[in-house]
């Protein structure tokens, strides 16, 4: 079984297949992690922005995997359940590590180590997908099906939550039901953050209060019992 890492685009089913879309996103993740490693030297806003870019890519990417790609893998692969569960365990760890990173400042003594631990789990996640899961799907599915999954994954990725929500189920139905409320709350917080960056001030006054209220609302939504439905004990928190 050949990794998808060094296959030609044609072999992957063209740019729109799930294989090519995943590989392109993983390459982008590599570049964003490199930028976060460079900016950690000087810290400040540049590093915060770099880490946010990593988080935004990671959470939308993983959310769409959990609602589109992994259910499809479980339908077609005999080993789909344990294999996707292994990847979901990595996703859960990333959620928890990024939630800790969000609370830490670049000047904290453990910040760099925490960032490297997060990036190591992300690298492991990418390797399992490119070397095991996606080549297995390539063996069993035709180009049309791989492109259809690619389009569905892309659509969900564009409307997915952008922040870590470690308490929510990693599997449908809880995972899918969480999409709408958490996407609205996360993206409202992203808008506030972009406003804060554009005006070059820290989240103070009304903006900071609004951010805290939205974060509190997201925390309350996360804990709704219906959003934990479908969760496996291995990824529950």
Give residues in contact with Fe ion (CB under 5 A): 22, 62, 65, 125, 129
- For the bound state, the minimum distance from the C-beta of residue 120 to Fe ion, rounded and expressed in Å, comes to 14
Nearest CB to Fe ion, comparing residues 73 and 115? 73
Report the nearest approach of Fe ion to the CB of residue 118 (Å).
13
Kindly list the distances between the CA atom of residue 184 and the CA atoms of 136, 169, 175, in Å, as whole numbers in the listed order: 35, 18, 15
Q: Where do the H-state alpha helices sit in the chain?
A: 9-12, 18-39, 44-64, 70-76, 80-103, 111-128, 134-140, 143-158, 174-177, 179-198, 205-222
Token pair in block for residue 72: 């499809």
State in angstroms the smallest separation of the CB of 159 from Fe ion: 17
Nearer to Fe ion, 64 or 214 (CB): 64
Nearer CB in complex with Fe ion: 36/126: 126
The dihedrals phi and psi of 183, each to the nearest 5 degrees, come to -65, -45
State both tokens at 169: 């189920």
Answer yes or no: are the C-beta atoms of 185 and 214 closer than 8 Å: yes
Q: What is the DSSP letter of 68?
A: I
User: How far apart, in whole angstroms, are the C-alpha atoms of residue 211 and residue 213?
Assistant: 5
Smallest distance from Fe ion to CB 129, Å = 5
- For residues 15-39, one letter each, b for 16 or more C-beta atoms within 10 angstroms of the residue's C-beta and e for the rest, the string is eebbbbbbbebbeebeebbebbeeb
**Largest separation between any pair of C-alpha atoms in the chain:** 56
Which residue, 106 or 153, has its beta carbon nearer to Fe ion?
A: 153
Q: How far is the CB of 195 from Fe ion (least distance, A)?
A: 30
> What is the rounded distance in angstroms from the CA atom of residue 96 to the CA atom of residue 197?
25
Q: Between 129 and 222, name the residue whose CB sits nearer to Fe ion.
A: 129
We find the least distance from the C-beta atom of residue 96 to Fe ion, in angstroms, to be 15
CB closer to Fe ion, 128 vs 208: 128
Q: Tell me the closest approach of the beta carbon of residue 91 to Fe ion, in angstroms.
A: 6
Query: Nearest CA to 83 among 98, 64, 69?
Result: 69
Q: Which is nearer to Fe ion, 95 or 186 (CB)?
A: 95
């Amino acid at each position: 079984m050949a990794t998808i890492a060094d296959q030609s685009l044609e072999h992957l089913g063209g740019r729109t297949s799930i294989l090519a879309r995943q590989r392109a996103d993983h390459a982008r993740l590599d570049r964003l992690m490199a930028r976060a490693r460079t900016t950690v030297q000087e810290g400040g806003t540049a590093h915060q922005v770099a880490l946010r870019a990593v988080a935004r890519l990671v959470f939308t990417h993983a959310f769409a995997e959990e609602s589109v790609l992994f259910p499809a893998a479980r339908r077609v692969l005999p080993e789909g359940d344990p294999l996707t569960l292994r990847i979901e365990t990595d996703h859960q760890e990333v959620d928890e590590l990024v939630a800790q990173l969000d609370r830490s400042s670049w000047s904290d003594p453990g910040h760099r180590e925490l960032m490297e631990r997060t990036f190591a789990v992300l690298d492991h996640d990418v390797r399992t997908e490119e070397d095991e899961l996606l080549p297995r799907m390539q063996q069993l599915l035709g180009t049309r099906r791989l492109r259809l999954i690619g389009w569905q994954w892309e659509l969900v990725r564009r409307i997915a939550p952008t922040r870590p929500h470690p308490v929510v189920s990693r599997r449908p139905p809880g995972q899918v039901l969480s999409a709408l409320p958490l996407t609205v709350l996360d993206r409202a917080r992203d808008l506030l953050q972009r406003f804060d960056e554009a005006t070059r001030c820290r989240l103070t006054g009304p903006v900071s209060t609004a951010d805290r209220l939205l974060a509190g609302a997201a925390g309350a939504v996360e804990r709704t019992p219906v959003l934990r439905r479908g969760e496996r004990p291995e990824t529950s928190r």
